[in-house]
Amino acid sequence: HQTQDHSLSQLEDIARQIEKWKQQVIKIKAIYHTMNKFNLDVTDRCLIAECWCPVDDLDHIQQALMRGTEASGGSVPSILHRITSCEEPPTYMKTNRFTKGFQAIVDAYGIASYEEVNPALYTLITFPFLFAVMFGDAGHGLIMSLFAFAMILREKKLANSKAGGELFSIIFNGRYIIFLMGLFSIYTGLIYNDIFSKSFNIFGSRWNTSYQGVVTHTDGKQAPVTYVEQVQGEETITILPNLAFQTGNPYPFGLDPIWQVSNNKLLFINSYKMKMSIVIGVTHMTFGIFLSIINHIHFKRYVDIFCEFIPRVSLWV
């Protein structure tokens, strides 16, 4: 029994330390994996490595090397030299918590070459706004923005948490995108006068339905009728704009709520949203074509302006 108790005690100690040992092994493997990419200089008995790094981070890298030398107790300091190269540098886009998600969307379609215009800067506005044009519900947009705002407030705690799995990780990484999509959806939802698929008559409709309208019977004959009489019957009323609409005094903001009781509500509103999306989408794509001329001028590729940019614009128009 003493042997069994001793073995059990040893296993319990190992169990308490195994996670710490696991982290140490991972760090050591990462260090050796990096060192294996170095070149060994037998003459000077040192390791030499060449890599690309942002120019703005050279001082930070030098300080990190100095701290590493001090922490290891080494007598020979690490030396950092900036060398010239004929190779084209890789593309590095400096991002933060806000722009990281938008940059990931742009990189999914293709990474810009070195010194080219980064379209992610413009995607900060165009991507969530184009989504809102198609979505356009102030109520659902409010829920989206509040949900994303809650993740932003607790982002430090949620970033260190592994709960939720891969799906939640994707949503969390796009929290700023969802937040902006929600805000823009509130704006477009107010323009569409659409809040949880309902409209609000805040300013009062600019259509007067108490006038004598014209109703078309099944036999094709027309007769004057009031709006109240039409509601009680099964026939439809035709509201004449020249009689019912208050000319020169439109609804102050967004769609007039009278559209919510019209028979062609979906036909009009869906067509309006689709046309708006197409107009803004075409404008968005045209803007991207015009960004290419900046790259041509920067790299002095003047032939591409005549052989690529102008034909694209001509065919697009």
Q: What are phi and psi of 116, to 5 degrees?
A: -80, 165
Whether residue 235 contacts residue 217, with contact meaning beta carbons closer than 8 Å, is answered with yes
- pTM of the complete model: 0.74
**Tokens 């799995």 label which residue?**
165
Whether residue 214 contacts residue 225, with contact meaning beta carbons closer than 8 Å, is answered with yes
pLDDT of 69 reads: 84
| Pairwise CA distance, residues 73 & 68, whole Å | 8
pLDDT of 239 reads: 67
**DSSP per position, 138-166:** HHHHHHHHHHHHHHHHTHHHHHH--TTHH
Q: Report how far apart, in Å, the C-alpha atoms of 199 and of each of 9, 136, 141, 191, 204 are.
A: 70, 12, 15, 11, 12
Residue 213 has pLDDT above 60, yes or no: no
49 or 1: which leads in pLDDT:
49
pLDDT of 148 reads: 94
Cα–Cα–Cα angle for 197, 199, 204, rounded to 5 degrees: 175
Residue 26 has pLDDT above 90, yes or no: yes
* 162 confidence band (pLDDT: 50, 70, 90): low
**Tokens 């697009």 label which residue?**
316
Contacts of 170 (CB under 8 A, 6+ apart): none
pLDDT of 303 reads: 92
- Segment 280-295 shows an average pLDDT of 88
Give percent of the chain with pLDDT exceeding 90.
18
* 238 confidence band (pLDDT: 50, 70, 90): low
- Segment 114-122 shows an average pLDDT of 89
Top-ranked range on mean pLDDT: pick from 39-43, 62-66, 200-204: 62-66
> Which range is least confidently modeled, 78-82, 96-100, 259-263?
259-263
Buried b (16+ CB within 10 A) or exposed e, 293-308: bebbeeeeeeebeeee
Residue 21 has pLDDT above 70, yes or no: yes
Cα–Cα–Cα angle for 6, 9, 15, rounded to 5 degrees: 145
* 228 confidence band (pLDDT: 50, 70, 90): very low
| Pairwise CA distance, residues 187 & 53, whole Å | 42
Average pLDDT of the residues of the chain: 83
| Pairwise CA distance, residues 178 & 56, whole Å | 31
- Segment 245-261 shows an average pLDDT of 79
254 or 242: which leads in pLDDT:
254
> What is the chain's length?
317
- 23 exposed, middle or buried (CB, 10 Å; 0-12, 13-18, 19+)? exposed
| Pairwise CA distance, residues 160 & 101, whole Å | 18
pLDDT of 230 reads: 45
pLDDT of 216 reads: 61
Top-ranked range on mean pLDDT: pick from 75-84, 179-188, 189-198: 179-188
Residue 2 has pLDDT above 90, yes or no: no
Using only C-alpha atoms, what is the Rg of the chain? 33
Q: At what angle do helices 265-298 and 175-192 cross, to 10 degrees?
A: 130
- Segment 86-91 shows an average pLDDT of 89
Q: Report how far apart, in Å, the C-alpha atoms of 314 and of each of 143, 306, 307, 308 are.
A: 43, 11, 11, 10
| Pairwise CA distance, residues 145 & 135, whole Å | 14
Q: How many CB atoms lie within 10 A of CB 104?
A: 14
Q: 3-state DSSP helix/strand/coil percent for the chain, to nearest 5? A: 60, 5, 35
| Pairwise CA distance, residues 269 & 271, whole Å | 5
pLDDT of 70 reads: 86
Residue 153 has pLDDT above 80, yes or no: yes
175 or 245: which leads in pLDDT:
175
pLDDT of 140 reads: 93
Residue 229 has pLDDT above 50, yes or no: no
